Amino acid sequence: MIGWLPWLLVLALGIAVTVLMVKLRRLEEQTSPIQRRCEDLSAELQHYRSLLHYTMESLQDAVVLVTAEGTIVSANPAASRLLGKGILGQTLLQRTLCYDLNLLLTRCVQTMRPQHAELRFPHPHPRTVFVRILPLPTAPQAAGSNYLVVMTDISELRRLEQIRSDFVANVSHELRTPLASIRANAEALLESPPDDPAIQQKFLNTIVQQTERLTRMTDDLLVLAKAEARPIPQTQEIHLSGVVHSLVEQLRTQVEEAQVTVVIDVPEDFVVCAQRDQLEQILWNLIDNAIKYNRRGGQVRIQARKVPEGSEVVVEDTGIGIPNEHLERIFERFYRVDKARSRAKGGTGLGLSIVKHLVEAHGGRVWVESELNVGSRFGFVLPDSRTESVENAAAS
């Protein structure tokens, strides 16, 4: 009997192990769905984290997560572009120097309601920014509340709105002057003696002149509107020399009245890639200005040469020149260095703006150099192939 005891003990242990294995297998069968569910939830959580990260990285708006004190704890790349690098751990006030932003955050913290405002950030670069601040739900174990700050840079939008506003104001002003003159002369004509044709002729001449001025202005506005739409011009190879000689001949009367000399330094075989009507408009405006604002006995020189960018054309004069402080704005609509002189010369204030937009529509660039009382050089460069013109126009 004693000899059987070890075997009975082994058998008992074997039975016990078998029972435990069966229980363990049953327990595994019960816990496997839970484990698989946990794994599924973990994968889904990781997916949404990746999606959130990608979304934050792709947003053009600056998004930062801040504490109630305004300390930045998280930021997307757009926030670094707006506020500068190394912003984590710093406060919104430190990065923007905008006290109104600090007050907006304080209001959100006190009310726990979303806040928004259009603010001006003086630092790191002056910007107009639309800011939205939202309080976030706080987890039970969280140390404090966090706030989501979304900032949209609307500086360019406000700049364009200002340009539009200035344009409307300028158009209204430019139209009011000739209209007032037409009305005044028409009223004077009605009251003038019917038997005095000389006086009537004087009033009528003024009315015709102001009407022609209005016509030039509306024509230039239409040309400018088309140029600003930037349709890709259908370009062709054009011999520049023939175009320049034709335009100078059309301006022969103005050349003789101004008593200036026109020198054409363009090779006969010089070819540019451009839309013919727009090229003539560009050259007409530049040559006409060089004649108008020249001095008696002065010279206008038209030159052309090949450069790495394409074909460069320069119109140079020996006229009154342009002060340095005006050069940056000389291509703006209705911008005049000497308003009285420009109107006296019949200018609409749109010619150089038309030149700029037509050149850029071709994928080219325009520039100016000038010295007061010495003269000015206006030049433009056009790409030499249609493909380059389309690519450059799309990029500009």
Poorest-pLDDT segment among 87-101, 128-142, 327-341: 327-341
More confidently predicted of 292 and 177: 292
Kindly give, in sequence order, each residue whose CB lies less than 8 Å from that of residue 352, ignoring residues fewer than 6 positions away: 285, 289, 330, 331, 335, 378
* Strand 261-265 to 146-153 pairing: unpaired
**Mean pLDDT across the stretch 165-174?**
74
Q: How confident is residue 149, by pLDDT bands cut at 50, 70 and 90?
A: very high
pLDDT of residue 351: 85
pLDDT of residue 189: 84
Residue % of the chain over a pLDDT of 90: 40
Instruction: Quick: pLDDT tens for 57-92.
Output: 778 889 899 999 999 998 989 999 999 888 999 999
pLDDT of residue 307: 94
Q: How confident is residue 246, by pLDDT bands cut at 50, 70 and 90?
A: very high
**Mean pLDDT across the stretch 307-316?**
94
DSSP state letters, 144-208:
S-EEEEEEEE-HHHHHHHHHHHHHHHHHHHHHHHHHHHHHHHHHHHHHS-TT-HHHHHHHHHHHH
More confidently predicted of 221 and 208: 208
**Mean pLDDT across the stretch 338-354?**
65
pTM of the model: 0.58
Q: How confident is residue 2, by pLDDT bands cut at 50, 70 and 90?
A: very low
* Among candidate residues 260, 249, 307, the one with its CA nearest the CA of residue 283: 249
Question: Which domains can be identified in the chain, with CATH numbers?
Answer: 58-154 (3.30.450.20), 233-382 (3.30.565.10)
DSSP state letters, 169-180:
HHHHHHHHHHHH
